[in-house]
Amino acid sequence: MRKIIYGMGLLALLGWGCNSQPSKEAHYNPERTLPNVVLIMADDMGFNDLGCYGNSTVHTPNIDRLAASGIRLTDYHSNGVVCSPTRAALLTGLYPQEAGVEGVVTAKSHRKSGMSPDKLTLGEYLKESGYATAIYGKWHLGYEPEFGPNIQGFDQFKGFVSGNVDYFSHIDQEGYEDWWINQSLQKETGYLTDLISDNAMAFLEKKEADKPFFLYLAHGAPHYPYQGPNDQADRTVGGNFQIQGSREDKAAAYKEMIESLDENVGKLMEYLEKNRLAEQTLVIFCSDNGGTKNVGSNAPYSGFKGQLYEGGHRVPAIFSWKDKITPGESDALVLSMDLFPTIASLMGLEVPKDLSGKDMSEIFDGPIPDIEEEARTVFWRFKNQAAARKGQWKLLIIDGESSLYNLSTDVQELNDVSDEYPDIFQELNKAYKEWESGLNEETILT
């Protein structure tokens, strides 16, 4: 049973209709005042790492308040179980494999490769629709400027292109300087989480009053190195350092990092409120994959980052829009790749064709009929693992061995029920094989 509290239908309230036959030449009506979008992505944050998702030790009052003011999703999933694939899926509205990024774009081995600029991104689509676009924080879809944010739809970029940087010296785990202002390496001082937020505030201060904006805050927290705001730099250029940081009590550092992120989310929300932007701005908060094995919490789910058990990809996600989204909770199945078409629809734009992601704006307008939702089958693949999901059923394949789980009664994926439900087992296996056979293996960065 879906647990959603609704007021007026969102799309009816906005007075917008959604056309599924888009024209790339004219995405929007120039006479319409388009809303703004703020997308906040945490890095390696587990399902149970926030107060609003049941954590009682990490204090996150601002994100909890964001959840209380909007829709908190309980069945939201990252498309990848590591960083780069999810970011590719989110920006393209495609499966990571279709975007050519199935694995991590590593600082060690992939410095000359990245996601193809030929892929249409959410940044490009919104920019073409009249938006000012900016990303502050983590890119992780290519190291060279030819694969960078400025080439793929963002007017402004300040941040890092690798998987992680020192929170103070901004050096990546291979010992390279990694703080960029657009296409140039430049130094900026500050604790990473604060710096990302400060740049966002500066962007908002300078924005054109009559132009909508898309602000993508791709935070590094709480990904390692585990450094709280009161710690100091560990990494030096070409130096010898511990990749995860020198802090001995990593669990305490992790807590400090999330609470710092929460504080910065609070500053942003306060700014939107004080400057009368809250009513015009959709705010989305999510994570790129599940928490890691040694810190964080994916409870009540099994598994962690890098695994296709639920804990590796079922993550927090919140949609909030003052006076437009009535507070509630939804158990609708949503993936990272759904954000592109859903944002386009909620903004009143025409949803592009040929996306694998689904426009989920209906969950803010009323319950989706169960028969429609259950008909959707979605897929994951990473290294020696694969998965398919349809309704309550999940097929999990590890090293060629397949299991079937009923997530409605077994969220920890402990009981293989493939012998009890052979028809469902065969159906999902067949669906997965058909999906996999349609992928272009030559384009996949693993």
- Residues that are catalytic: 83, 140
- Looking at the DSSP assignment, which residues form a beta bridge with residue 318? 72, 285
Question: Are 222 and 45 in contact, with CB atoms under 8 Å apart?
Answer: yes
Among 89, 288, 122, CA closest to 214:
122
Among 70, 12, 16, CA closest to 38:
70
Among 373, 400, 403, CA closest to 385:
400
The whole-angstrom distance between residue 136's C-alpha and the CA centroid of its chain comes to 14
- Looking at the DSSP assignment, which residues form a beta bridge with residue 185? 180
Among 380, 401, 378, CA closest to 389:
378
**Run of H or E including 85:** helix 83-92
Q: How far apart are CA 138 and CA 125, in angstroms?
A: 20
DSSP secondary-structure letter at 157? E
- Looking at the DSSP assignment, which residues form a beta bridge with residue 213? 132
Question: Are 298 and 320 in contact, with CB atoms under 8 Å apart?
Answer: no
Length of the chain: 446
Alpha-carbon Rg for the chain, nearest whole angstrom, is: 21
Question: Are 132 and 121 in contact, with CB atoms under 8 Å apart?
Answer: no
Residues 6+ away with beta carbon under 8 Å from 187: 170, 177, 179
What number of other Cβ atoms are within 10 A of residue 61's Cβ? Answer: 14
**Run of H or E including 43:** none
Question: Are 216 and 134 in contact, with CB atoms under 8 Å apart?
Answer: yes
**Three-class SS state of 142:** strand
Question: Are 207 and 132 in contact, with CB atoms under 8 Å apart?
Answer: yes
CA dihedral for 86, 92, 97, 102, sign (positive or negative): negative
Question: Are 168 and 231 in contact, with CB atoms under 8 Å apart?
Answer: yes
**Run of H or E including 446:** none
CA dihedral for 91, 94, 99, 100, sign (positive or negative): positive
